[in-house]
């Protein structure tokens, strides 16, 4: 997968790229590139945003600046991009990220994430250059960068071979394997701590009973 993140703060992602799952993905040949719209802005002094028409607080990312950045990266009129790749704007009011959406994006070869700042995007960016608007929750962050990292993390860890051999993205919370339910509880040594004992079934070595117990626990956790 080629993941491109358009952000005014590319240095934030330097840390992200060193995280183990992300580093694994990069080693496998996937890419996570940051593109700073300030570098291609047609405006003077690196300007990328402007005050909103009609008044109000905050600044809005300009459509001409985003067009220039997308054009410089992909060499096409960005209006044609939505037909070629998933272009996702991170916005608080967008489609809520869940396991199904992460899985959907993990199947895409090319994904672009656009991070807004301040008051967000000029609406024409969303109308003409973008396929999806995605939110990581109904609260407002100072910008889309942390949301882009959350989306990237949830997507990259689903790519084959990215998780270590002891981990699995198949049977985990909200997965199809668990019928969308939260994951069952986990325990490790010691088997007894201060009288808090691990459920006997997990020590029984009886794989079928363990499987049934786990699925039952998972189902129970999904009840209101
Ligand atoms: N940008 C600001 N807040 C956001 C949120 N909750 N989700 C996605 N992008 C955002």
Tens digit of pLDDT per residue, the chain (224 long)?
A: 999 999 999 999 999 999 999 999 999 999 999 999 999 999 999 999 999 999 998 899 999 999 999 999 999 999 999 999 999 999 999 999 999 999 999 999 999 999 997 679 999 999 999 999 999 999 999 999 999 999 999 999 999 999 976 567 777 878 888 788 788 999 999 999 999 999 999 999 999 999 999 999 989 988 88
* Strand positions, DSSP E, the chain: 2-6, 31-35, 49-50, 60-61, 86-96, 110-115, 132-135, 192-193, 196-197
User: Hey, which of 88, 141, 142 would you mutate to test ligand 1's pocket, going by the most ligand atoms within 8 Å of its Cβ?
Assistant: 141
180 lines ligand 1 (CB under 6 A): no
Residue of 7, 60, 91, 93 with the most ligand 1 atoms within 8 Å of its CB, for mutation: 91
Ligand 1 centroid – CA 45 distance (Å): 27
Cβ of 135 less than 6 Å from ligand 1: yes
Smallest CA-to-CA distance from 74 within 122, 106, 112, 107 is with 112
- CB of 52 within 6 A of ligand 1: the answer is no
Relative to beta strand 110-115, strand 192-193 is unpaired
Total-model pTM: 0.92
Residue 191 C-alpha to ligand 1 middle, in angstroms? Answer: 42
């Amino acid at each position: 997968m080629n993941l491109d993140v358009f952000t005014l703060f590319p240095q934030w992602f330097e840390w992200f790229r060193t995280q183990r799952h992300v580093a694994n993905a990069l080693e496998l040949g996937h890419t996570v590139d940051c593109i700073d719209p300030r570098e291609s802005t047609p405006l003077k002094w690196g300007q990328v945003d402007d005050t909103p028409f009609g008044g109000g607080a905050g600044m809005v990312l300009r459509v001409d600046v985003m067009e220039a950045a997308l054009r410089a990266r992909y060499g096409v009129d960005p209006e044609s991009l939505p037909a070629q790749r998933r272009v996702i704007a991170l916005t608080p009011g967008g489609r809520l990220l869940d396991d199904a959406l992460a899985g959907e994006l993990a199947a895409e070869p090319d994904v672009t994430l656009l991070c807004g700042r301040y008051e967000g995007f000029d609406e024409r960016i969303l109308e003409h250059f973008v396929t999806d608007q995605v939110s990581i929750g109904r609260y407002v962050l100072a910008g889309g960068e942390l949301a882009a990292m959350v989306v990237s993390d949830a997507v990259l860890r689903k790519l084959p071979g990215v998780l270590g051999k002891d981990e699995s993205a198949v049977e985990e919370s909200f997965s199809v394997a668990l019928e969308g339910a939260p994951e069952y509880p986990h325990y490790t040594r010691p088997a007894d701590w201060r009288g808090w004992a691990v459920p006997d079934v997990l020590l029984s070595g009886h794989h079928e009973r363990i499987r049934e117990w786990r699925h039952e626990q998972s189902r129970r956790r999904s009840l209101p």
